Amino acid sequence: MDTTIRTRARLTADARLVVQAWLGTRLVLVITAIAVALVTGRGLVEVLANWDVQHFVFIARYGYAKPTEVAFFPGLPLLLRGGMLLGLDPVVAGTILSLVTSALATWALYRLGGRWAAIAWLLAPTSVFTLVPYSESPFCAAAFWAWERATRRQWAAASALAAAACTLRVSGLFLVGALFVLAVWQWWGSRAGSSPVPDAAARDRLGYSLPWLVPPLLVLAAYATYLYVLTGSWTAWFTAQATGWMRQLTMPWDAVRNSWRSIQPGMYADHPGWVWIFRAEFLSMIVGVVVVVILLRRRRVPEASWVGVQVFAFSLSYWFQSVCRAVLLWFPLWTLVGEAVERRSTGAWRWVWAVAALVMLAVQVTWAVLFYLGMWAG
């Protein structure tokens, strides 16, 4: 009984710490936005409405009235449209949505990797994109919970959540692929007699799990069909990506060469801050490769497939772009960080992690200022 009480107390303390971290990081990002608004004389809504936010708001108001707007999936604009029907400004509605879904994503990550994994995600340098009306927060909430449910053989719930993720980003396709690998991995493990759940035998059959991956694929097919009806092209999404953001198909070695040129000193003399963002993009790709290698060495193949397919996709673009934001989607990275902190959480290591957290928070605030000022933030 005493052991049970101590376990419950520890879990309660862990959950309280994660909630405090969520509140603290959200408060820091909001205070930073208010400070930028006061210093620049702009309204708070205007400060929050930079870059892709304007695309999402435009689609919410006018639909896909511009050819390049089809690069953005309809899930978030539809939610913003729903907020507008309730009388909310779309930026305000999107910010509220991001706040709520960032909490849901944190909860899922806490269940997947524990307290330190969730806190590390909250301290991610690009966390500003989980506050403003971007698709990162809602996608992470849907994708993380889909994975959490799938690891517990709850495939019906995982299917519904993955379908929701597929309305938000093309990354939903990668999620379905990784869930396929997870299903096969569970089935293979059950054949070896390692099913961790007593009643898992029936649910470990591929004939049970794989059909649940069809609904998310149908969501993606529905959007592709809609774009064909709208534009007359089955490749409208790829065309929009190439036209608006130079994301045409490129061989990986060419992408590396182009990206390497973009991080050299003296590049973009008129915009010196750009080279640092490109360097962060390059570093993020390296982090992704390292994470995949570590996961494979630890035989965590499904998680490696989730990160690996995204790293590979980014390597097929003209240069590395939006990788810094994609790091937010890589929950295996944050679970690895959480495991590292948990293993080394006594003595001098406490000071090491405390300093690391402060550095991450400082970078997070700096990144948020870039976004709020309308400067390129990735």
Q: What is the pLDDT of residues 82-93, one digit of tens each?
A: 999 999 999 999
289 is written with which tokens?
């490769």
Distance set, CA 237 to CA 61, 99, 141, 157, 248 (Å)? 20, 28, 24, 28, 11
**Which run of H or E residues covers position 39?**
helix 2-40
Is the residue at 11 inside a domain? yes
Quote the radius of gyration of the chain (alpha carbons, Å): 21
Closest CA to 310 of 185, 184, 157, 169: 169
pTM of the model: 0.92
Is the residue at 255 inside a domain? yes
Is the residue at 378 inside a domain? no
For residue 271, pLDDT over 80 is answered with: no
pLDDT confidence bin for 219, thresholds 50/70/90: very high
Task: Indicate the number of domains in the chain.
Answer: 1
Q: Which of 37-46, 187-196, 251-260 has the lowest mean pLDDT?
A: 187-196
For residue 281, pLDDT over 70 is answered with: yes
Mean pLDDT, rounded, of the chain: 91
Query: SS3 helix, strand, coil % of the chain, rounded to 5?
Result: 75, 0, 25
Is the residue at 43 inside a domain? yes
Domain that holds residue 24: 2-372
Closest CA to 95 of 34, 144, 148: 34
Decide which of 207 and 192 is more confident.
Answer: 207
Is the residue at 212 inside a domain? yes
Tokens 């470990």 identify what position? 204
Which tens digit of pLDDT belongs to each residue from 165-183? 999 999 999 999 999 999 9
Is the residue at 47 inside a domain? yes
Is the residue at 181 inside a domain? yes
Average pLDDT (244-269) is 82
For residue 274, pLDDT over 50 is answered with: yes
Q: How many CA atoms lie within 13 A of 136 on its CB side?
A: 28
Is the residue at 377 inside a domain? no
